[in-house]
Structure 1
Amino acid sequence: MGADPVAGGMTPERSRITVAIVDDHPVVIEGIRSWLATEPRLAVVATGEDPDTVLAASQPADVILLDLRLRGRMAIDKVTELSGAGRRVVVYSEHSDPDTILAVLDAGAVAFLAKQEGREHCVDTVLAAASDRPYVPPALAGAIVGDRRTDRPVLSEKEREALLLWFQSMSKASVARRMNISEHTVKQYVDRARIKYARAGRPAPTKAALLARAIEDGLVRADEIGN
């Protein structure tokens, strides 16, 4: 199945949230597309079974809905790759055991959605992901509540690097130039760190609070901030 860059003939306005759906079952894609079509703020701009083909076929989507199992293999490495590039990835899957969900979050996904959780949770999760707000559907809530690991969030190397440069009094535009990425991607790294702390029950809504959390957890050292 190839990419469908104009999914359903829809021509989204710039103000609408754009979504790409990656799944290797056409019936699932059509079902999710029909759910998202009930929300006028959302526009599906590409669909298909191969992430690279889908994402190359359209404008950059605000949110990527990614099936975790594609063509017989788990795609956690693709979650890591896309998240590392600053993309908002919502993973949805029939594999909703806590270990899988936590692995997906550690890989950088902004949310996990179990396939059986239905239209309302799907729409609300996508809307929240697009605005970098935490949204916790039932399967994700169960995994977080049952998580007996440390409450220190796992940040990617790119997230940590962006935070460190930002904490060193660089503007996000300067951080973007230093890391050779877009300012939007820098903002996503910072926002993802905040989301991870919020999920861990340790919210950090301000820069000062986020710095304090990062130092507490050894993600950055106090002497690095003065460099």
Structure 2
Amino acid sequence: MDPEPLRGPVTLAVVEDHPVTVDGIRLWLSQDPGRRVELVASGPTVEAVLGGPGATADVLLLDLELDGVMIIDRVAELCAGGRRVVVFSGHREPETVLRVLDAGASAFLAKHESAEHCVDTIVAVATDRPYVTPTMARALISDDRPQRPRFSEREHLALLLWFQSMSKASVARRMGISEATVRQYIDRARVKYAKIGRPAPTKAALLARAIQDGLIRPEEVRDYRSFAAGGD
């Protein structure tokens, strides 16, 4: 089914070992005119946060580097249980972004993003919509593009509509084809990337690679700024 509209504030849990950063997060949440996100838990470790109210939060905002150690493996572990995870990091190299998305994260936020983009990303993830911030677009788009697969016009259209938060059933109706064909197009895209050594196991990873390769322009994605796992 298509993503549902937001009903009530999104609950957020934050894993961050620098109190000043948590204070900054509280500040940009308070600056959102609609107060769309409510911080319900924060702490320096995953265990501390998920051992209390954070266990049922809609979205987990996770610092990629805790106590000086990168925790991409922990991202995969958390996402495997179906949790919506947004990774928050000062590292914004394309390789880091793609590794995080490959691990299952719904979105990636650079720590210098504006308050507006941070809140918009969290809301997008909570409502299963895609989100690409301008910073992430700049990180992914470069003149030095790796080998990229070829897509037919129909494959490209199916992917674009899916990235625009449409469900596979909605894409099928829009294109006048079966839902099975839409799934085939998406699966085929993943196979094509896997064959050239660039697997894209999640929707977010597939979108990131499509943007990196110039196959999808960020402005073609709804609201321009979304980068999560939208639709089904």
Determine if the TM-score, normalized by the shorter chain, exceeds 0.5. yes
- The equivalent residue for 1:46 is 41
Distance 2:106 2:186 in 1: 19
Return 5+ residue gaps in structure 2 as ranges.
1-6, 151-158, 170-178, 193-232
Return 5+ residue gaps in structure 1 as ranges.
1-13, 153-196, 220-227
Letter in 1 for 2:185: A
- Does residue 1:213 correspond to 2:208, yes or no? no
Taking structure 1 as reference, are residues 45 and 202 closer, same or farther at Cα in structure 2, changes over 3 Å only?
A: closer
Q: How many residues align?
A: 162
Letter in 1 for 2:102: D
Shift of 1:148: 2.7
- The equivalent residue for 1:121 is 117
TM-score (norm 1): 0.63
- Does residue 1:24 correspond to 2:30, yes or no? no
- The equivalent residue for 1:8 is none
Distance 2:106 2:149 in 1: 17
- Does residue 1:109 correspond to 2:105, yes or no? yes
Taking structure 1 as reference, are residues 202 and 129 closer, same or farther at Cα in structure 2, changes over 3 Å only?
A: closer
Alignment match of 2:28 (pick from 35, 44, 49): 35
Q: Report percent identity of matched pairs.
A: 46
Cα RMSD for the two superposed structures:
2.8
Letter in 2 for 1:118: S
Shift of 1:201: 7.0
- The equivalent residue for 1:148 is 146
Taking structure 1 as reference, are residues 31 and 62 closer, same or farther at Cα in structure 2, changes over 3 Å only?
A: same
TM-score (norm 2): 0.62
The 5 A counterparts of 1:15-94 are 15-39=8-32, 40-58=35-53, 59-94=55-90
| Aligned 8 A contact 1:90 1:109 in 2 | yes
Distance 1:216 1:99 in 2: 20
Distance 1:108 1:131 in 2: 17
| Aligned 8 A contact 2:130 2:165 in 1 | no
Deviations 1:176-197 (A, max 9, x none): xxxxxxxxxxxxxxxxxxxxx6
Distance 1:110 1:30 in 2: 23
Give every structure 1 segment of 4 or more consecutive aligned residues whose post-TM-superposition deviation is greater than 2 Å. 142-152, 197-205, 215-219
